[in-house]
């Protein structure tokens, strides 16, 4: 076994935990200064396998409870297999041009997948006999579901054939006149009497809804005798219809599917293993969410829709003529990823054309099995609409970031249900209004829940009141903390006759099915009246339909940016949406039983509007692909939308391309879309993702100038010419040709160049507009970009801030590679006409009187190779600051003063529970249980994590221990960052203590310190040592003893190219020196401009 070399460094430890040069005689050091965590992270393949990523946070569990996971195997699913396996023809509709039909090629490839699965399960049984194989996902995803003890998940990645292990997560569903508001009435009319919507709008299209199921006897799903029988499945099998018996009738009357609701299946295998007490284990809905989304997308045309006995109709879905196929993937506690992925597979096999998924997820598409399943569905010709999420208005909260999904935000329509609230005291009166769908109440005494001392539910009405606490009163409750409807139930238990629900800050108001008369106020104005008056009575009027303000973003609607595509894609009505409900809600928050309709809010409600709109378009344009349907909806969307204040124009990170207008989408003559194969190869590429042919442009790195191309497809039989224009923010431009001509059924390129000299911290946005010469609807593409430099940086500095006419100055241009890959660069410096070049050096070439160029390749960073040697002196001293709790398989990132390591300077560290640091900070992919190699033979490798300092890397757990302590200490003129672990050996209470000391400054000085009286040990598969950013260094299985010092040798920084341009002023002017740089390692062109005015003598 290798041993560490001993060195003497002439340092001694002084009380107070500072390292002082021996004999320095320095004063006592200042006390340690604790550092605060910046973030926490709980941590040749087939094309889809190359995209798939492991969810490292799965490794956090240490107990033996059986948990579900999904395992992505190294093969493509049937829906995305484009060939490549000898002897097996392609099966993906994207490659074959036909839908999946269960033909010979598909059967042969499925047999091949079965063999691959058998090989995997055999290897699994040998290594993890406790694992149980569940659903096998062959049509989409390409993998299997497993359950196994949580403390054995760590071994799965070592099983042959596994490319990623992903969490089988429990996710949540995201919780009339809206159809006409989006223009669907134009496409629905024509066959209905007196202009009424036709029940056949959207005919010939199958809409699949993955949700909480549906109440099949609901009138929205009745067979009205106007729709034809659904087509037979291409594989010849029968459609599942598993809704079970109607629990509201005494007779046994199992629901039979019809020519409207053509199928229903429960996919709850994973869910029921965790929550076996689901009310209905069939596709029947006990929540109401699925019934609402299904009826919104494709519910029948109904003349009546009563809520609490009051007529609120008529009502109908966006595509009432479409067939519905329901897939129950959610129970009362949420939705498992494996169940959702299995349902996607079945939907593809069932011939579904459009999927609605009003469920969270997709924030990391490449480690999300459902999002990967949607990619396969897209390849199979299926359009997917998904909710953006309900975590707004904060930025960066949007769900479903993949470009193959249409992600839907929520905004208002022009109809609202509202009620008045009259407040009366002996000396004052106030009139307020809010949202309501209930009956009225009062006059009755008004009381604030938080003012009643005996009530334990507080201001938010979080607990049921005792009988008599609120008898005959209207109770004021604050929104937040618990479900809105539950608040009403809680005060009703105490005898309340009404509720005033208020928002503590400006938010949307909702029309829930409350248990008692309720008005929901947008702000806390009611509190001002309560504070100023006593003896108040209140009267709530009955809720009525009134005109409201449309196209206002809902405050709850999640915002971008997110990922490499522009998200959300569009917005649609998602506030006070009247649609179906289950008469048997299983939770208090579902409201009173017996109601078949409700008017609720959420991006869950907006997404089915887009699904229904896609169904209408697919019915009228059956040859359009999912990407073309998405393009039509985006490019024709209404952009006159505001944020929640009703005044400020919404941008693309709020509304996407805008609010859908399906009547305009039906008339589009151009589309912009891309293939699933290009998405597989480019969607996760930070440089190339901007070039995906999407109906939007998103540039998270825009270094000055960026050019891309959108390919326009003419959907008509005639040549089309469009005038092209753009808008851009201040100090920026979006350049496009003045016109473009696209041949009939052909394509033409639309080159786009974005330029910006804006200095901002964040995104800017603009728009490209195309106006047809023949009067067809105008189209637009939203553009978002963030001015920032990439891996290769560029700077320009001049010796003078101005130059006198006929005098000279010089400017130095510097390009630096901050990455590890070599970077070819092409540099050009151009002077304004007021300046002239008088000379160049540094290898640059004079190309003209005002132009200089330089081409070179900047080598990537070669970090120094670290080694570890023993110290004569001890550094260890307990760090006296408060600890930060750390769990098992967890990393905490800290921002720290700059320190040197392996030739680079860093200002962030990631402290991992398993006894190592990631220099520069890290992500979940940098959390690893054991060091690389085998027990006793550890060796560095290029696999993540890299840039590691490992005083004792092994399987450690901080969840039941002190944690980690991070601070700066100072003394004797030396300042250090000190990291101390006090964590347990996994599965024990054996605490391991050790430290890393990092000298602040550019020069590397790094120590590993150990308590000589309590050295770490007792584990297998450990390592002590260091790796650089490329995975080179030393890791040794030698039990710690003396303190250690890390020394890096060799290596070099990233390449730097620098040249000087000598210049002279030739005419008075406010001149500029502009340098541009291109490199394949950076998207676009990096541009820097230096102002150097020429002034008269």
Active site residues: 211, 289, 604
**Distances, alpha carbon 447 to alpha carbons 471, 477, 491, 535, 654, in Å:** 11, 9, 11, 9, 38
CB 32 within 8 A of CB 969: yes
CB 448 within 8 A of CB 531: no
State the Cα–Cα distance between residues 375 and 80, nearest whole angstrom.
Answer: 8
Whose CA is closest to 359, among 375, 344, 381, 379?
344
Residues 6+ apart with CB under 8 A from 662: 182, 183, 184, 186, 187, 318, 613, 616, 617, 633
**Distances, alpha carbon 619 to alpha carbons 187, 263, 1007, in Å:** 10, 19, 69
Whose CA is closest to 653, among 727, 561, 570?
561
Tokens of 783: 């553009």
Q: Is residue 383 within a helix (H) or strand (E), and if so which, with residue range?
A: strand 383-387
Q: Is residue 677 within a helix (H) or strand (E), and if so which, with residue range?
A: helix 676-682
Q: Would you give the end-to-end CA distance of the chain in angstroms?
A: 76
CB 923 within 8 A of CB 38: no
SS3 296: helix
| Number of neighbours of residue 1009 by Cβ within 10 angstroms | 27
Tokens of 776: 């067809």
Whose CA is closest to 300, among 258, 239, 347, 266?
258
> What SS3 string covers 1043-1075?
CEEEEEECCECCCEEEEEEEEEECCCECCEEEE
| Number of neighbours of residue 284 by Cβ within 10 angstroms | 28
Whose CA is closest to 986, among 1015, 960, 1012?
960
* DSSP 8-state symbol, 198: P
Q: What is the CA radius of gyration of the chain?
A: 33
**Distances, alpha carbon 235 to alpha carbons 104, 204, 238, 969, 1078, in Å:** 11, 18, 9, 71, 52
DSSP 761-826: SS-EEEEEEEEETT-PPPEEEEEEEEE---SEEEEEEES-SSEEBT-EEEEEEEEEE-SSS-EEEE
State the Cα–Cα distance between residues 34 and 978, nearest whole angstrom.
Answer: 9
Residue given tokens 């005419």 in the structure block: 1067
Whose CA is closest to 474, among 395, 530, 512, 513?
530
Whose CA is closest to 162, among 74, 78, 81, 76?
74
Strand intervals (E) in 581-647? 597-600
Query: Across the strands, what pairs with 147?
Result: 68, 132
State the Cα–Cα distance between residues 877 and 11, nearest whole angstrom.
Answer: 14
State the Cα–Cα distance between residues 163 and 184, nearest whole angstrom.
Answer: 44
State the Cα–Cα distance between residues 899 and 977, nearest whole angstrom.
Answer: 9
**Distances, alpha carbon 70 to alpha carbons 49, 361, 369, 373, in Å:** 13, 15, 7, 12
**Distances, alpha carbon 1060 to alpha carbons 372, 805, 854, 1052, 1067, in Å:** 50, 20, 11, 24, 22
């Amino acid at each position: 076994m290798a041993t560490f070399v001993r060195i003497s460094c002439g340092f001694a430890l002084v009380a107070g935990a500072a390292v002082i040069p021996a004999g320095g005689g320095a004063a006592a050091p200042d006390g340690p200064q604790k550092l605060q965590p910046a973030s926490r992270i709980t941590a040749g393949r087939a094309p889809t396998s190359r995209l798939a990523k492991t969810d490292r946070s799965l490794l956090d569990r240490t107990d033996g409870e059986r948990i579900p996971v999904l395992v992505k195997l190294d093969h493509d699913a049937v829906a995305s297999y484009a060939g490549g396996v000898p002897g097996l023809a392609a099966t993906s509709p994207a490659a074959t041009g036909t839908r999946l039909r269960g033909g010979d090629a598909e059967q042969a490839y499925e047999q091949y997948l079965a063999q691959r699965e058998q090989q995997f399960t055999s290897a699994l049984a040998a290594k993890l006999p406790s694992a149980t194989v569940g659903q096998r996902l062959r049509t989409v995803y390409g993998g299997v579901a497993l359950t196994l003890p949580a403390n054995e998940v760590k071994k799965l990645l070592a099983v042959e054939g596994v490319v990623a292990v992903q969490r089988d997560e429990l996710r949540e569903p995201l919780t009339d006149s809206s159809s006409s508001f989006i223009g669907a009435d134009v496409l629905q009319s024509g066959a209905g009497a007196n202009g009424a919507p036709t029940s056949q709008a959207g005919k010939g299209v199958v809409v699949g809804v993955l949700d909480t199921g549906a109440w099949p006897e609901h009138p929205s799903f009745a067979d009205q005798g106007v729709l034809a029988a659904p087509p037979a499945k291409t594989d010849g099998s029968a459609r599942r219809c598993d809704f079970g018996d109607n629990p509201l009738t005494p007779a046994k009357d199992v629901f039979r599917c019809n020519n409207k609701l053509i199928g229903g299946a429960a996919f709850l295998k994973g869910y029921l293993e965790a929550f076996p007490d689901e009310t209905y284990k069939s596709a029947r809905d006990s929540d109401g969410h699925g019934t609402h989304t299904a009826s919104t997308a494709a519910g029948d045309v109904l003349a009546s829709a009563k809520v609490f006995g009051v007529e609120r109709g008529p009502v109908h879905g966006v595509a009432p003529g479409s067939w519905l196929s329901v897939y129950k993937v959610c129970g009362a506690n949420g939705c498992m990823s494996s169940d959702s992925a299995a349902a996607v597979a079945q939907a593809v096999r069932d011939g579904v054309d459009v999927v609605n998924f009003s469920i969270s997820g997709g924030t990391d598409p490449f480690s999300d099995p459902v999002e990967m399943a949607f990619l396969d569905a897209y390849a199979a010709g299926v359009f997917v609409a998904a909710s953006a999420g309900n975590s707004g208005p904060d930025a960066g909260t949007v769900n479903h970031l993949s470009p193959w999904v249409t992600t839907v935000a929520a905004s208002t329509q022009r109809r609202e249900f509202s009620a008045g609230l009259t407040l009366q005291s002996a000396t004052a009166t106030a009139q307020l209004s809010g949202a309501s769908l209930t009956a009225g109440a009062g006059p009755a005494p008004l009381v604030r829940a938080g003012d009643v001392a005996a009530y334990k539910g507080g201001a938010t009405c979080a607990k049921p009141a005792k009988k008599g606490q609120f008898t005959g009163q209207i109770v004021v409750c604050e929104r937040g903390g618990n479900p809105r409807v539950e608040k009403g139930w809680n005060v009703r238990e105490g005898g309340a006759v009404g509720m005033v629900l208020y928002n503590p800050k400006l938010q949307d108001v909702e029309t829930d099915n409350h248990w008692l008369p309720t008005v929901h106020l947008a702000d806390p104005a009611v509190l001002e009246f309560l504070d100023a008056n006593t003896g108040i009575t209140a009267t709530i009027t009955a809720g009525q339909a009134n005109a409201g303000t449309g196209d206002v973003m809902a405050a709850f609607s999640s915002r971008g940016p997110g990922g490499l595509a522009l998200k959300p894609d569009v917005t649609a009505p998602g506030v006070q949406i009247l649609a179906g409900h289950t008469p048997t809600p299983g939770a208090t928050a579902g409201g009173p039983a017996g109601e078949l309709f409700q008017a609720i809010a959420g991006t869950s409600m907006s997404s089915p509007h887009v699904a229904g709109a896609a169904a209408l378009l697919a019915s009228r344009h059956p040859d359009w692909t999912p990407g073309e349907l998405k393009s039509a909806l985006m490019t024709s969307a209404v952009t006159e939308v505001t944020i929640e204040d009703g005044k400020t124009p919404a941008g693309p990170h709020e509304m996407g391309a805008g609010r859908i207008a399906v009547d305009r989408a039906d008339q589009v003559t151009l589309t912009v879309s891309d293939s699933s194969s290009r998405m597989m190869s480019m969607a996760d590429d930070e440089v190339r993702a901007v070039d995906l042919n999407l109906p939007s442009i998103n540039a998270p790195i825009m270094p000055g100038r960026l050019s891309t191309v959108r390919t326009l497809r003419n959907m008509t039989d005639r040549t089309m010419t469009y005038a092209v224009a753009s808008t851009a923010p201040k100090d920026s431009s979006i350049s496009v040709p003045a016109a473009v001509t696209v041949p009939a059924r052909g394509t033409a390129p639309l080159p786009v160049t974005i330029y910006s000299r804006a200095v901002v911290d964040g995104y800017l946005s603009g728009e490209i507009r195309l106006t047809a010469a023949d009067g067809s609807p105008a189209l637009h593409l939203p553009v978002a970009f963030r001015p920032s430099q990439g891996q290769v940086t560029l700077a320009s500095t001049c010796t003078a801030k101005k130059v006198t006419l006929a005098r000279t100055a010089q400017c130095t241009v510097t390009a630096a590679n901050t990455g590890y890959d070599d970077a070819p660069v092409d540099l050009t410096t151009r002077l304004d006409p007021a300046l002239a070049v008088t000379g160049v050096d540094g290898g640059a070439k004079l190309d003209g009187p005002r132009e200089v160029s330089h081409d070179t390749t900047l080598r990537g960073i070669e970090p120094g190779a670290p080694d570890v040697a023993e110290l004569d002196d001890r550094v260890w001293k307990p760090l006296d600051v408060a600890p930060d709790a750390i769990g098992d398989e967890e990393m905490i990132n800290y921002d720290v003063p700059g320190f040197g390591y392996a030739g680079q300077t860093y200002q962030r560290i990631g402290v991992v529970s398993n006894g190592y640091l990631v220099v520069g900070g890290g992500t979940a992919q940098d959390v690893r249980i054991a060091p690389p190699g085998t027990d006793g033979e550890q060796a560095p490798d290029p696999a993540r994590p890299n840039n590691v300092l490992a005083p004792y890397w092994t399987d450690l757990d901080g969840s039941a221990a002190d944690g980690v302590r991070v601070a700066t200490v100072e003394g004797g003129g030396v300042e250090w960052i000190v990291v101390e672990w006090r964590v347990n050996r996994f599965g024990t209470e054996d605490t391991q203590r050790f430290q890393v000391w990092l000298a602040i400054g550019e020069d590397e000085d790094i120590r590993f310190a150990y308590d000589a009286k309590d050295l770490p040990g007792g584990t297998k598969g450990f390592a002590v040592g260091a790796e650089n950013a490329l995975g080179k260094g030393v890791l040794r299985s030698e039990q710690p003893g003396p303190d250690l010092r890390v020394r890096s040798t060799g290596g070099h920084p990233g390449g730097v190219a620098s040249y000087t341009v000598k210049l002279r002023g030739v005419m008075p002017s406010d001149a500029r020196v502009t340098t541009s740089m291109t490199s394949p390692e950076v998207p676009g062109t990096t541009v820097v401009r230096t102002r150097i005015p020429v002034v008269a003598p």
